[in-house]
A and B are shown apart, each in its own frame.
Chain A
Amino acid sequence: MELEERARDSADNCIACTSCVAVCPVTKANPDYRGPKLVGPAHNRMHFSDENDYEDSLKLCSNCKNCDITCPNGVSVATLNMLERAKYYKAHPEKHTQADQMLSHNFQMADMLKSIPFGRTCANIGMSIGEAMGMMGAMGIAPQRKSPRFATKYFREMYKEIKQPEGLTKEVLFFPGCFIDTNDPEVGVAFVKVMNANGYKVLMDDRFKCCGSPLVVGGYLDEARSHADNNVAIINEYAAKNIPVIACCTSCSLMLKAEYTELFAQEEMAQAAKNVYDAFEFLTILAEKGELKKVHVSSDKKFIYHAPCHLRAQGMGMPAVDLLKEIGVNIDSADAGCCGMSGSYGFHKENYETSMKIGSELFDKINASGAHKVVCDCGTCREQIKHGTNAKTTHPIQVLAKAYEQ
């Protein structure tokens, strides 16, 4: 059922204060981008559906949501941009590039490779060869980057081999998301350990699809909608059984909690959102109820934390940092803004320079920190950090899982 309150109507709340322009990292790094105020709210209101009337620089927005974070009037600026972008590609499907197609549909590739014996190993070798021969650039993908390799075993496969303790009465459903599932499954393993230690059995549901974030950014809104409908139905099924859904990736959780509803304005989506939690949000709730497993870390190894923009946009601070600090981890937030990657954005060849310029403040802070590892909840932020600094990275849930092992 359609909701009455729609994100696209929030354009009318814009008072043209330019706060969003002042903080937009792409505006700062790339003088061709006209900035959120004009591209989002203003254009949305002025746009009278001539299918050729599009703002050219719209494609430069990374959907990082710093505009939303800064807007004093609750305008869903980034979503307005994404809706506008979707309209453009609907009218001009031929404008989609090969890179758009690939970067938005990585989940299809991942599924296909899984079905081929040694498919992943071969693909990884193929990527190495492709990178070495400079083929990435020809496909529109930033040749400077190393593409994330596929794990030889995805999390959904590893999960089946994990023996969870008998007799756990409480259950949560894990939404792994593509990156953790197919690129960084150890994060999922750590999540299961942490939840088990707190008395929860972790469930998986193979019907889940990619949250759709890369599809939205690529302008494939209809496909994103079908993913949303699929995932929302599953989440609501579990809600009926009082089983919460938890994500470790902050872009996935933002999508499930907020962006589905913003983009598509369906009541079921708003309903499902109430049953979705970020992992550390959930653990914090346990801690507040005195139900979180107690542990104290005595090592003084120094960590530095990078807060993903898609976590900051959730309006709940940095629960991972608070919780890790509480148990004695020596960790401090870098507070250096956007890393510049924004999911698949920085992988596009034409965005590479912008992406690295945006990240430079964070890279400098990390390099100067002398920290032993960078902690961050987002997989593609971690890729960017490794690329920009050579630092080692980890997900906060892995830090907590380690603490539990001691």
Chain B
Amino acid sequence: MSKSDVVVIGNGFAGLMSALVSADQGKKVTLLSYGAGTFPLNSGVIDVLGYDDSGKAVANPAQAVSAVADEHPYKKIGIQALEESVKFFQDVVAAEGFPYVGSLNEQQWLVTGVGTLKPSCLIPESMQGSKCFEASEIVLVGIKGLKDYYVDMVAENLAKELGNDKKYTVVTVDPHYQGARDLTTKDVAAWMDTEAGYADFVSQVKGNAGAGKVILVPQILGLKGNVVYKKIVAELGCPVVETTAMPPSVNGLRLRDVLLSALKKKGITVIEKAKAEEAVIEGSKAVAIKAGGEVRLQTYNADKFIVATGGFYSGGITMRDFGEAKEVVFGLPVECDCFEERWVNKQLFSDKKQTFAKTGVRVDATLRGVDESGNVVLENVYVVGRNLSGYDFCFEHSGNGVALASAYKAAKA
């Protein structure tokens, strides 16, 4: 394979965005992918910062990002790159016909699959839970046979969140499903993509739609961007809101498909099932990656490398023993409080960050790995996303935000 300007390793949100921003800079990009990334698991919404260090809910992400600790990736990335990355992302998805609403100056609200409310920063039009705030009646749609969606529980919890001065009505739609296995939101979304399925659904819900109401549905409004969403809002004449979902998450898959489509338009080469195994280093630079394939590794040469391999969760960092954490492909220095007694905070849902979650590659403000004295290890290797040290995405709700901003900064460097 001929040489690329940039090789991106990893195909989660950070990897895809790194590839897109690099290609936008006119670079020839090859992306090495392995597995599906976190897309089928997360709801495809971009949290930037949901909770600050003390666990307090963040109202204005831009402000809160400016106040993070020095070790935090946002500090190194800087607010300007974050702002530009948000604009870049919103432009990309809008050009693909799948716009995301939101800004860094306020939070958006999601209704979760159990009926609670959750903040996020950038979300697709179909998930704007705030539309429920003004409504006088919420019509909650359940789907007969749908796994893991208990509409009565959603109604009960939502009433606790939004108060009892609203009316909560439950409608159950029968998708006339005849299959032998459990029905998932993905199956229902595929049904909604068919003309017959869509018409059937609308006919069962239409009687309950109307002014002042909001229709709340599980994540079923089709698999293709916001096509079904736009159609159904126009047809029902009132807002329709999707909740977040259990895996496989329909909106995560939508976002992945939309980004892959953008990658294709930019002429980015994606190599599937190409697990990066070895780096070829010359002096202080990487010159190639060996990856893949059945039987023999293929060599991918480039001038610049972006490591988006997802940290512990996705195999970018491993640890055989305490104190021996390492970044797998380049052996970049990993920063962690690697002592058994401090490794986990056993109260899983406590108000403290998890030590293991903050483990990651130690980088400087250019997002290149640095040794303990702060010297750059490999001049042309950049680290992004869940590979970075110093934050607990789960605790603070910043996963895709850090992924986006770091990808942007590394690709622009």
**Is the A/B pair a real complex?**
yes
**Contact flag A31-B40 (CB < 8 Å), given A72-B35, A313-B294:** no
In the complex, B273 has a CB within 8 A of chain A = yes
Partner of A314, one of B247, B253, B293, B315: B293
Contact between B40 and A19 (Cβ–Cβ < 8 Å)?
yes
Contact between A19 and B181 (Cβ–Cβ < 8 Å)?
no
Contact between B293 and A72 (Cβ–Cβ < 8 Å)?
no
Contact between A274 and B296 (Cβ–Cβ < 8 Å)?
yes
Contact between B34 and A312 (Cβ–Cβ < 8 Å)?
no
Question: Of A315-323, A346-354, A389-397, which binds chain B?
Answer: A315-323
For the complex formed, measure the closest distance between the CB of B224 and the CB atoms of chain A, giving whole angstroms: 11
Contact between A315 and B180 (Cβ–Cβ < 8 Å)?
no
Partner of A315, one of B40, B186, B293, B314: B293
Partner of B181, one of A57, A74, A335: A57
Contact between B274 and A17 (Cβ–Cβ < 8 Å)?
no
Specify which chain B residues have a CB less than 8 angstroms from the CB of A8 in the assembled complex. Answer: none
Interface residues of B in 223-260 (CB under 8 A from A): 247-248, 253
Contact between B40 and A68 (Cβ–Cβ < 8 Å)?
no
User: How many residue pairs between the two chains, A and B, have CB atoms under 8 Å in the bound complex?
Assistant: 106
Partner of B41, one of A17, A313, A322: A17
For the complex formed, measure the closest distance between the CB of B181 and the CB atoms of chain A, giving whole angstroms: 4
Contact between B35 and A22 (Cβ–Cβ < 8 Å)?
no
**Contact flag A315-B271 (CB < 8 Å), given A31-B178, A32-B180, A70-B36:** yes
Contact between A315 and B273 (Cβ–Cβ < 8 Å)?
yes
In the complex, B292 has a CB within 8 A of chain A = yes
Contact between B2 and A19 (Cβ–Cβ < 8 Å)?
no
Interface string of A301-333 (1 = CB under 8 A from B): 000000000001111110100100010000000
In the complex, A69 has a CB within 8 A of chain B = yes
**Contact flag A68-B273 (CB < 8 Å), given A17-B247, A19-B40, A257-B294:** yes
Nearest CB to that of A253 among chain B residues? B294
Interface residues of A in 192-228 (CB under 8 A from B): none
In the complex, A292 has a CB within 8 A of chain B = no
Contact between B35 and A316 (Cβ–Cβ < 8 Å)?
no
Specify which chain A residues have a CB less than 8 angstroms from the CB of B274 in the assembled complex. Answer: 315-317
Interface residues of B in 11-40 (CB under 8 A from A): 34-37, 40
**Contact flag A254-B179 (CB < 8 Å), given A17-B247, A316-B274, A317-B271:** no
Contact between B295 and A274 (Cβ–Cβ < 8 Å)?
yes
Residue from B34, B179, B180, B294 whose CB has the most chain A CB atoms within 10 Å = B294
For the complex formed, measure the closest distance between the CB of B289 and the CB atoms of chain A, giving whole angstroms: 13
For the complex formed, measure the closest distance between the CB of B190 and the CB atoms of chain A, giving whole angstroms: 6
Nearest CB to that of A29 among chain B residues? B190
Nearest CB to that of A22 among chain B residues? B248
In the complex, B275 has a CB within 8 A of chain A = yes
Contact between B273 and A314 (Cβ–Cβ < 8 Å)?
yes
In the complex, B298 has a CB within 8 A of chain A = yes
- What separation, in Å, do the CA atoms of A108 and B183 have in the docked complex? 42
In the complex, A179 has a CB within 8 A of chain B = no
Nearest CB to that of A74 among chain B residues? B275
Nearest CB to that of A314 among chain B residues? B294
- What separation, in Å, do the CA atoms of A320 and B100 have in the docked complex? 37
- What separation, in Å, do the CA atoms of A273 and B293 have in the docked complex? 12
Contact between A317 and B181 (Cβ–Cβ < 8 Å)?
no
Nearest CB to that of A28 among chain B residues? B190
**Contact flag A315-B272 (CB < 8 Å), given A19-B35, A72-B36, A73-B35:** yes
Nearest CB to that of A317 among chain B residues? B271
For the complex formed, measure the closest distance between the CB of A379 and the CB atoms of chain B, giving whole angstroms: 20
Contact between A317 and B269 (Cβ–Cβ < 8 Å)?
yes
Nearest CB to that of A68 among chain B residues? B273
For the complex formed, measure the closest distance between the CB of A386 and the CB atoms of chain B, giving whole angstroms: 25
Nearest CB to that of B178 among chain A residues? A31
Interface residues of A in 32-74 (CB under 8 A from B): 32-35, 38, 56-57, 68-74
Interface residues of A in 62-103 (CB under 8 A from B): 68-74
For the complex formed, measure the closest distance between the CB of A170 and the CB atoms of chain B, giving whole angstroms: 19
For the complex formed, measure the closest distance between the CB of A86 and the CB atoms of chain B, giving whole angstroms: 21
In the complex, A18 has a CB within 8 A of chain B = yes
Specify which chain A residues have a CB less than 8 angstroms from the CB of B314 in the assembled complex. Answer: 72
Size of chain B's interface in residues, with CB distance under 8 A? 39
Contact between A72 and B294 (Cβ–Cβ < 8 Å)?
no
For the complex formed, measure the closest distance between the CB of B83 and the CB atoms of chain A, giving whole angstroms: 32
Contact between B294 and A284 (Cβ–Cβ < 8 Å)?
no
Contact between B315 and A322 (Cβ–Cβ < 8 Å)?
no
- What separation, in Å, do the CA atoms of A254 and B294 have in the docked complex? 8
In the complex, B177 has a CB within 8 A of chain A = yes
Nearest CB to that of A323 among chain B residues? B1
Contact between B272 and A312 (Cβ–Cβ < 8 Å)?
yes
For the complex formed, measure the closest distance between the CB of B96 and the CB atoms of chain A, giving whole angstroms: 15
Specify which chain B residues have a CB less than 8 angstroms from the CB of A35 in the assembled complex. Answer: 181
Contact between A69 and B272 (Cβ–Cβ < 8 Å)?
yes
- What separation, in Å, do the CA atoms of A281 and B34 have in the docked complex? 20
Nearest CB to that of A65 among chain B residues? B273
Contact between A31 and B181 (Cβ–Cβ < 8 Å)?
yes
Nearest CB to that of B315 among chain A residues? A72
For the complex formed, measure the closest distance between the CB of B19 and the CB atoms of chain A, giving whole angstroms: 14
- What separation, in Å, do the CA atoms of A406 and B121 have in the docked complex? 58
In the complex, A276 has a CB within 8 A of chain B = yes
- What separation, in Å, do the CA atoms of A17 and B292 have in the docked complex? 22
Nearest CB to that of A32 among chain B residues? B180
Nearest CB to that of B250 among chain A residues? A22
In the complex, A23 has a CB within 8 A of chain B = yes
- What separation, in Å, do the CA atoms of A72 and B247 have in the docked complex? 15
Specify which chain A residues have a CB less than 8 angstroms from the CB of B187 in the assembled complex. Answer: 31
Contact between A316 and B271 (Cβ–Cβ < 8 Å)?
yes
Contact between B295 and A70 (Cβ–Cβ < 8 Å)?
no
Residue from A17, A19, A273 whose CB has the most chain B CB atoms within 10 Å = A19
For the complex formed, measure the closest distance between the CB of A85 and the CB atoms of chain B, giving whole angstroms: 18
Contact between B181 and A34 (Cβ–Cβ < 8 Å)?
yes
Nearest CB to that of B247 among chain A residues? A18
Contact between B36 and A31 (Cβ–Cβ < 8 Å)?
no
Partner of B248, one of A19, A34, A69: A19
**Contact flag A69-B1 (CB < 8 Å), given A22-B248, A31-B177:** no
- What separation, in Å, do the CA atoms of A152 and B130 have in the docked complex? 70
Contact between A258 and B294 (Cβ–Cβ < 8 Å)?
yes
For the complex formed, measure the closest distance between the CB of A321 and the CB atoms of chain B, giving whole angstroms: 9
Specify which chain B residues have a CB less than 8 angstroms from the CB of A33 in the assembled complex. Answer: 181
**Contact flag A316-B293 (CB < 8 Å), given A35-B181, A68-B273:** yes
Specify which chain B residues have a CB less than 8 angstroms from the CB of A322 in the assembled complex. Answer: 1-2, 269
Specify which chain B residues have a CB less than 8 angstroms from the CB of A17 in the assembled complex. Answer: 40-41, 247
Contact between B36 and A19 (Cβ–Cβ < 8 Å)?
yes
In the complex, B264 has a CB within 8 A of chain A = yes
**Contact flag A22-B40 (CB < 8 Å), given A31-B179, A72-B314, A315-B274:** yes
Interface residues of A (CB under 8 A from B): 17-19, 21-23, 28, 30-35, 38, 56-57, 68-74, 254, 257-258, 273-274, 276, 284, 288, 312-317, 319, 322, 326, 335
Closest 9 CB pairs of A and B: A31-B179, A72-B35, A315-B292, A315-B273, A22-B248, A315-B293, A316-B293, A317-B271, A258-B294
Pairs A–B under 8 Å by Cβ, sample size 19: A17-B41, A19-B35, A21-B184, A22-B36, A22-B40, A34-B180, A34-B181, A35-B181, A72-B36, A72-B37, A257-B295, A273-B294, A288-B1, A314-B292, A314-B293, A317-B270, A317-B272, A322-B1, A335-B264
